Structure 1
Amino acid sequence: MQLGFIGFGEAAFEMSSGLKEQGFGKIFAYDPLWNHPTFGLLVKERAHKAGVELKTEAEGVLDQADILIVAVPANKAYEVSGTLKPYLKKGCIYVDVSASNPDVKRRISDNIKGKEVPFVDAAMMGPLPVYKHTVPILASGDGTDALTRHMSPYGMAISKVSENPGDASAVKLIRSIYMKGTAALLIELLEAAHRFQVEDLVIGSISETMDGKSFEQSMNRLVTGTSIHAVRRAAELEGSIEMLEAAQLDSLMSQAARDKLRLLSTYNLKEKFQGKTPAKWLEVITAIQQ
């Protein structure tokens, strides 16, 4: 079993380094920047350090690889699949680890389907420098079982989502709404707390509210409560926005939250639930979607 990378940036370097440490055999790679005057040296240094054979053309990798990991920028992933398609060999497992959206992953799968090449939509769920090849991977597509069978013995942590290309990436991108959104919201909160010199009180108060419950319990409480109190909470945020603007602080996240609450209030959920807080978040989401 031989492995090939198209694109040899940080992800490919870290994964191949870890696999080599686990005794994996031949690994080949091609990166279009291999002879770039600025970045070419880094590509070559990484390949040498990881024990990877660097090729000067993509075809050189495709000739050798039984598993092909395409690690290119999201905006290039579909285009690259078209470039590689003529050289794909039957049975080679095509693994796309880009951060492309689900539609792009489905289009790539459809694009190569005629080559009898199993496809894997792979979403990496952790930092590569920390985990290397053991980074948790969510995978979907018809090549997932084969990829897991071949690579799990080397420590790769692959969890199957479904047979449908795009499902794994959907999980990652939906999760990012929370993870990236929370980070942005916290920055806005901490800027304000620091400006008013009340950071310890603010952090302590929020900690007291959140620390005693699991994430799912807190999520359920916040969503169900907001469903019947959206109008009041939007008005409260309006006060927060006025305070931030008076202090000449950015209020972008607070404005977005206020607008979302105002939109939620148009669904008349308080009336639908007869003023009683629903038991589960799913009741709220179902009512919105109806």
Structure 2
Amino acid sequence: MSHTAHIPSHRKPRRSASKLAVRAGVAGGVLSTLAMAGTASASPSAEPVAETTLEMPVLNLDLGADVSSALTVAAENTRLAAVEGELTAQEESARTGAAAEAKQAKEEAQKKADAEKAEKTAKAEAERKAEAERSSRSSGSERTTLKSTAAPQGSGTVSAPATGSAAAIVNFARAQVGKAYVMGGTGPSSFDCSGLVQAAYRQAGISLPRMSQAQSSAGTSVSLSALQPGDILYWGSKGSAYHVAIYVGGGKFVGAQNPSTGIVERNLSYDKPTGAVRVL
């Protein structure tokens, strides 16, 4: 091996021909450009080149503010939608509640009307039955007339004629036959049952209570088989009688019966009384 083989060479490496050609072309182009520029500047007759400036629109956008505004609007719209929805729900609830209250009020009013109607119907029925009962005592065909004299024991008649105070009572009562029956009437053109008895006894100077209940217990109880003219007949319980009349003798009584018959004279057998009292 040679003693100089390890010493590196000091020669520059050769450049390749292609790289030299490229460098030469670039340099030539640059020099050509500079020459043309110099020529242009050296010619005084050349007109200046007009320069045109293009103005670009300036965008002055504040994107942060726009985004914030958009979010605020969206939030407000959402809030308004929620409020509107809540109001709609409240209105619907109010309508539903009002409808329920109206329905309940209507049902209660109907129940009240039905109750009042039923009460009126029951009252009218009771009055009708009472009137029918009163009419049944005073209407229809006459039953067998009891004999006025020599009546058998237990027939409820007496043979003695009315005299004195009894005659005044009987005569007054018979004089009212044919007059009208009016509830609460005390004369002179109309009477109810107790009003007639009270007025008849006034003719004898005797003051009686106004109501039939009190009149039925005003005197001494007597048997229907031992009646005398002027005795007070009553129907119902003593002390709570619902009807009174005057025994006029001959097995008959005079009484203000009801609005359909007025004051009449009837046989005892037609509507037998419950009991009798004697005041004279």
**Which interval holds the TM-score relative to the shorter structure?**
under 0.3
Q: Name the one with the larger helix percent.
A: 1
Bigger Cα Rg? 2
